[in-house]
Structure 1
């Protein structure tokens, strides 16, 4: 933990032989922060890059990052705040890698006129291997000083390691044959082709062949190796894709360049659609920087104003998906504006009933609690301030919105303000339904396919 209370030792109180030590674990995130702040983008120092072509990432600590640990010890502890550097000699005798625990030592060697102080400086790894040796000369502070830096701004990296893990989990699975409906624009075609390159899906392109070919040419994509099933328009393409599921020729659907209502209409068509006994619902699976787990938001795309029993299906769909993504007992927060039941706010009544339905086994596989306001659903301190005693409050992994408007705004706020990436999938049909947006980047498109592949593998659809 970063210290926020700093004290120094003024020049007159310093004595030759004084020492100070500090231990620091080199985290992969440290390497990204240094790369961004220094501009040193040498791949040898980036955790996921193979900088020398030997087939494995090096994740070496930049020498100047190691030297900065010496500066931190001198500036924060001995002599401490008020210290000014004059010079530093450095000998880098070995290298440190992400995961190493580094011990920094400084020892006072000499005091001189003008408050000049000379220190021996060393850094070594957890097994005693020296990494840095040298000497520093500083001007020590003249008087005792103390500082409270508790309001120092923090950093959140825009890393999406949770999606990386999803892609790693899906990689060993066989590609899922996926009917892509009306991929007749470059954006709609690029996603499934990208996923095919990553062996997540095996696309079947369902649509008007001339328009598909034009989209491929516009995007510079080679589609010669993919099956094309002709359909004259979007409605016919959606119906044909559903038929491929019934025939066993496809295992999943992906939306291309067509209106969502047309796409879902074919899935929901009576007798020939893909209905089950469960309400269809959409789930955003979100990788939010700074959050140590995936966050799921539902429903933000299909059910406009779901009633109580529809919400029960929405909750169960999300829990089932969470199981597929490795959460044995996901924590589900039913959102409202407040955390107490108030008949004037109908969503609080629904939330309370859904919680009781989970208690009675009508919703299974997860911990369900509500009503919860957003703050006490995701923040433990906020929940404790409100006196909420719950296994879910402050720890929610699934957020269930009271209606589509709230869910959609929440998901987009996380995307555009918190720099989250999102994957989209529709549940409740006979097969996974991949719903991507034209605004999605490559990682989001791949993650949507990975989520569908993992869910299909677990559920057997």
Structure 2
């Protein structure tokens, strides 16, 4: 980064930068300034003029002028004295703008500059004039770095919800929604028209939970059943009777929910092992990241891992993703002393021979070179999966559970939970899940169901 000192500048000197305004820019500006005006942060029509918003705040646009002055002309060492601003049009997220500054005059250490921001086609957004104290010492360094920022928003789940909302509401048997969070998640998905819930459990407890959160159960079917086991069995019957196309876990243990589904005569088995997938929306990650299996199969053998891979691939395809399966181990080479590395290599070869279909499978991979291209190149790994995996098959439940919770509590990810391998999607949330996680789980189930129906 190099500046221009007061003595070096002359009237007519110019500088400019081009900037693509992103939605994340507006969220960062809102966090820094405290200006959370929905006109700047949402795609909805806030002011009723018939168009969606995401308007860049005026002072954000003005801050781009300070970027030119502080980094180019005059550059490092510049201090503001005055800035005038006249706004002509507005810029929106997704638009490219051009920011320009031109020296008009200089005197007694002060420099006056003409400033403007325009659309890429030349339409003026704002014009004005700046007066700055110009640097007198030369600055020329290459080691100026600004820490990167990751915006904690969940754009992948937002996109999934946009896909799910136009679909028919998915008839969903909600088992034992007799406390606030489990009931609230189902009702939130119903309000978003993602599911049409059938509430199964002790009716009085369900109504108490509704009163606790101020919810109206009018128009929603409530089936009064005593006991968790009986409620889970009834959910299976509703699926067989074609009244429910999904099952959602409420306030009961996962084992109690799944036990009747595994019954050979009256359950929901269709030939594969039941496997669990966390669909993780990790801030800053370019696409959803699957972690599987982190909730059902404790120490899966090779045959179970084959079903884990296939179920995850099928789900990824239904979500419109290109499945790239990284089978994780502690190392990226086969080590006879590490069973997970042997299983990973076998799964990769099974995919090559068509025993696992629909996606690319590679392993063994360590976590770093599964998701980071730089780490993959450092290890000399080639292929289309290393560094780009979007499905992570873990060695066992403990590793998967730790990985998913690290992503959630350290990387601020949200996770949608789904059980696959059953006749219908099974929405599986934990008690600590946020409303967004519960809603996203319902959206994933709906997209999966209707993709399979086509």
Question: What band does the TM-score fall into relative to the shorter chain?
Answer: over 0.9
Residues 269-288 of structure 1: CA distance to partner in whole angstroms, max 9, x if unpaired? 12111112101000001111
The structure-2 alpha-carbon separation of the partners of 1:219 and 1:134, relative to structure 1 and needing over 3 Å to count, comes to closer
Shift of the 11–179 alpha-carbon distance from structure 1 to 2, 3 Å rule, reads same
1:66 corresponds in structure 2 to 61
> Is 1:267 aligned with 2:261?
yes
| Residue 127 of structure 2 corresponds to residue 118 of structure 1 | no
CA distance, structure 2, for counterparts of residue 293 and residue 149 of structure 1:
32
- SS of aligned partner of 1:211: helix
- Aligned-pair CA distance for 1:213: 2.1
Q: TM-score, normalised by structure 2?
A: 0.97
Query: For 1:414 and 1:179, how far apart are their aligned partners in 2?
Result: 29
1:149 Cα deviation after fit:
4.2
CA distance in 2 between partners of 1:210 and 1:132 (Å):
61
CA distance in 1, matches of 2:217, 2:80: 61
Distance in structure 2 (CA, Å) of the matches to 1:354 and 1:31: 44
How far, CA to CA, are the matches of 2:39 and 2:349 in structure 1? Answer: 54
CA distance in structure 1 between the aligned counterparts of 2:86 and 2:168, rounded to whole angstroms? 51
User: Which of the numbers 365, 368, 390 marks the counterpart of 1:375?
Assistant: 368
Offset at residue 49 of structure 1 (A): 4.4
Select 1:405's aligned residue among 398, 422, 425: 398
Cα distance in 2 for partners of 1:186, 1:61 equals 38
Q: Structure 2: how far apart are the matches of 1:59 and 1:226?
A: 36
For the 8 Å contact 1:207–1:229, the answer to whether it is kept is yes
Larger deviation, residues 441-450 vs 42-51:
42-51
- Equivalent position SS for 1:297: strand
Structural RMSD (CA): 1.4
Alignment of 1:48-87 (within 5 A): 48-87=43-82
Offset from partner CA, 1:225-246 (integer Å, 9 cap, x none): 2222232211111111111111
Q: Any gaps of 5 or more consecutive residues in structure 2?
A: none
Q: Say which SS state the counterpart of residue 13 (structure 1) adopts.
A: coil
Alignment of 1:409-420 (within 5 A): 409-420=402-413
1:159 equivalent among 153, 158, 168: 153
Match of 2:440 among 404, 428, 447: 447
Partners of 2:91 and 2:302 lie apart in 1 by 56
For residue 456 of structure 1, what is the aligned residue in structure 2? 449
In structure 2, the partner of 1:226 is: 220
Alignment of 1:29-178 (within 5 A): 29-113=24-108, 115-149=109-143, 151-178=145-172
Q: Per-residue deviation at 1:252?
A: 1.1
Structure 1 residues 214, 42: closer, same or farther in 2, change over 3 A? closer
Q: Deviations over 1:21-70 (max 9, x none)?
A: 11112222111111111111222222434331335332222121111111
Name the count of aligned residue pairs.
454
Is the deviation greater in 58-67 or in 309-318?
A: 58-67
Residue in 2 that maps onto 1:3: none
Question: Structure 1 regions of 5+ residues with no counterpart?
Answer: 1-5
1:119 is displaced (CA, Å) by 1.1
Equivalent positions of 1:309-348 (< 5 A) are 309-327=303-321, 329-348=322-341
Summarize the Cα distance change of 1:132–1:442 in structure 2 as closer, same or farther, 3 Å threshold. Answer: same
In structure 2, what is the equivalent of residue 282 of structure 1? 276
